[in-house]
Each structure stands twice: as structure tokens, then as C-alpha cells.
Structure 1
């Protein structure tokens, strides 16, 4: 959880920036918590200086929901214990420097939990159907891996069941794989290679193809223009095309051929760093794009 929060806070300052913009703003790739890319006076938000984002806040909310139930959660529990965390209990949001409902902070695909599970009273196992397919479930799936430490297959199954209330298609698959990766990393004999192998063994469809492609490419990655190299490998699997400054939003639609970007890129940086946390998480933060989620998954 702490490692995820560190990655989230590192990537907050560089989120949706290109590597070129990051170097221009900070004079070099960041090597520690960086000040906000834009000043608070201009944006009204403190994205930087070590402040976590909704990724960490959602993971903490999930932990509280698990503790309230006192056991594993399923899709039905998401409709009760977890939605309450979104809409009933104000939390301190560092970016905004005030207490607010978590529902107010999260992106629209996470608000969908409230729409589907509370307002529409959808069958919880079908709650994620129709949502924008993105990394929104994977970004807070780590606690499920912790709850199934050393048992990645069970972590995957439980996460797929639970997060069906939130996501579908490759967004749901990524949540299962993120939980599995954390569980695999907690095995007594874990190595980064075994974590990668475990995730690939469990992965399906486009998610599997993307993770295989990115982790293989990472083994021969250049030292120069690394982010551009990884992005070129990832782009065929991503429904959002183009650079940060000029991308084509094809649509976050369900697909058996596509994948979220964040998890394959995070695993690629893990391979490049040979399992070492600091270079992996800093590499992910300097990748830009959805940097807080990518670095938070490392």
C-alpha cells in the first residue's frame, strides 16, 4: 500500500505530460516528489509535492470496506460496503486541501459505481457493464492481492468477481491481473520474473498480448527515448491513440483485442529495473501519460 501511494504521489506531478514536457518543467527527469506541474493558484489543485490522488484514496476506501465486513468482498459487497465509502463518509483529499465525499473527487467511470449500484440498483455482478473501459478498477486492486498473499490465482478470481461491479472487458481483466501480481509478489519465493510469468499465465485476450509484448520489449529496451519506445509497442493495444498533446480518442469500448495501458507499462518498467522498486517507479513516473496510475501499479 505504501509503495502504491509513493508511485501515485510521484506520478501525480507528471500525469498527462510527455517526457519532453517533464524535462522542460523540472530540468531533468524527476528523481523525487516534484512540485505541481502548474501552480495551485492557477489550477486550484495540488498535484505534486507528495500528495496522493484518487488512486490511493480508492485503495484506502477499499481497505476500510474490507475491514467493515471483516472478510473478502464480492460484487454484492461492493454495492453495500464500498459504495458507502464513496457517498457517505467525507475524506481528506490532499489535492483539493479539504474534506469531501470521495464521489466528488473520482473520475466519471468511478462515479458509475454509484449510478449503477445505488441509483439504478443493477445486479451487482453486472454493474460494470456499459462503463467506460479504463484502469479505474485496476488502480485500486492491490488490497485484493494483499488479502490473497501468495495465491495469485485466487486473487485473480476474487478480483474478477468483485470488480465486475465496477468494470467490464479488459478493464475488469486488468483489475484481476493487478491483484494477482500483488499476490504473486508476496510469495516467499517471489522474483520479478515469477511475477511476470504468473500474470501472463492468468491473462486473457488483449491484456495478455499487451503484457507479453511490453515485457519482451523491455528486455531489449534502449536507454534513450525509452518512453517513446514503450509507447510505440503499447499503442496497437490501446484504444486511445496518439501522443499526450494530440491523441485520437477512439473510445474506451469493450474489446477482446485491447488492453489498458497502465498495467503493461508498469510491468515493463519492473522488467527494465530488474525488480528494483526505485528505478521502476521513477521510470513509470517519468513516462508521463497516466503516470500516477502507472507508477502506483509498480
Structure 2
């Protein structure tokens, strides 16, 4: 028997004895002085070394579990926030629509002598936001060209083309193609007539000229439509004077008028019948 074989046999015997003693020590609770302590001394570092990866994996499992829980909570919170934002936007839209409807109702009550056709804005694209819109009223509803359109308590446009179920309204905020409308300003029981002739995009105000009087026009004076031409309904609110561009003879003055209607939120409308 060579030396290597002897070492293998000796090692095997030592391993068997060690395992037997280990079984007796841990399994049966038998304590062998010195030998048990020696086994503990030898195996304790091995046990600690093997326990560290297990402990690390256990800790990482807890961390991973916390991350997954945080991810799920974050996902749920995002869905909640998105739902709340949608509800807030819908609420804001409903509030604006209700306010527009109340103002339309107030216009009808204020002008009981006029015939109003109520409707809604059906199309208003960003490309032509300040130029025109399409309403859900047409020939079948009694709408015809050149009728005035009011919304949010003031004049906003004029009908330019009509189909059976819809009509195109040119907005008065359209500074490129402005339809002139006769107006009047009441001052101390006297009326000064003029023409609503344009829209100033810098000040977001109407421009009125061709005034037929030289009287001073105070800031804040009410401007309404006039039926002097015979084709336009009278006394439809346009806005209030915010500035006067003077001239030497006071006849060539220009009035800048703040619109009574809010052009940014047009929902319900009224077409004014002749």
C-alpha cells in the first residue's frame, strides 16, 4: 500500500469519525469534553461563513419586497392622480359651460323683445381659434347669413355661411377679415353712433371709428349694437370703452373697447333673429 492510499484511508476514517461525533453531539446532545469543543471551534467559522450569504440573500429579499411594494403603491398613486386630474378638468369644463349657459339665459331675459336661437359650439380648431367656429344650428333652425351671434354675455361673431344643420360663424376677434357693424354709445341721454371696424390683437380690444358726434366719451361707457342700418338687431352688448385715441376734430377719434364676451371659452351661443 503506497503513501497516497494510506492518506486517503486515514482521511476517510477521520471524516467518518468527525461526522459520527458531529451527529452524536448535535443530534443526540452527547457532549464529549475537549472533542466537542474542538469540533465547535473548527465548525463555527465554517458555519458563520456559510451563514453570511444566506443572511445577505434574506436581507436582499426584504429590500426587493419593499421595492416591489413601493412600485405598486407608486403605480396606484399615479393612477389616482391621473383620475383626479381628469375629474378636475371635467369639473372646470362643466363650470365654464354652466356659466356660459347662465349668461345666455341672462341675455334672453334682458332682451325679451328679441328672438334668440340657442345652440352650442360644435367645432373650433386651434388653427382658426380666433377666426371662426362652427355651431350646431343651421337653416332647419331658422339661421341665415349675417345674423349676429352672442355668447358669454356679449357679441362674438356673425354668421357667414349656413348649411341645413350647421353654420360657420366669423368671430369678431378675427383681425384679418372684419365685418363692420353699426354701434352706438349712450352719453347723458344722448347717443353717438359709429362703426365697429376692427380688432386690435395687441390690446385684445375692438376698434370703433366714424363717430357722428364730438362729445367727450368717458372711459367705461357702454357700447351696444345699433339698428341704424336697418339690418342689425339693436342694443346687443359689445363692451366698454377702455381708451380713446384723440383727433383734432373729435370726429376721427377711435375708441378701444374691451369685449363683454370672453372669446377663450365659447360653449353655448345664441343666434339673434331679426
Q: Same fold (TM over 0.5)?
A: no
Question: Which structure: greater strand fraction?
Answer: 2
Structure of larger gyration radius: 2
- Higher relative CO (Cα under 8 Å, sequence separation at least 6) belongs to 1
Higher helix share: 1
TM score, norm. by length of structure 2: 0.28
Q: TM-score, normalized by length of structure 1?
A: 0.26
